[in-house]
Amino acid sequence: VFTALDDNACKVEFQLDYEFTNKLIELAFGRIFKDLTNNMVQAFTQRAKEIYRD
Residue 34 lies in a domain: yes
Residue 6 lies in a domain: no
pLDDT at residue 54 in the model: 60
Domain around 25:
19-54
Residue 8 lies in a domain: no
pLDDT at residue 40 in the model: 92
Dihedral class, residue 53 (left if φ above 0, else alpha if ψ from -120 to 50, else beta): beta
Residue 9 lies in a domain: no
Q: What is the pLDDT tens value at each position of the chain, 54 positions in all?
A: 889 999 888 898 988 888 889 999 999 898 998 999 999 999 999 998 898 886
pLDDT at residue 4 in the model: 92
- Tally of structural domains, the chain: 1
Residue 41 lies in a domain: yes
pLDDT at residue 32 in the model: 92
Residue 14 lies in a domain: no
DSSP string, 18-53: ---SSHHHHHHHHHHHHHHHHHHHHHHHHHHHHHH-
Please give the single-letter amino acid code of residue 38.
Answer: N
Residue 54 lies in a domain: yes
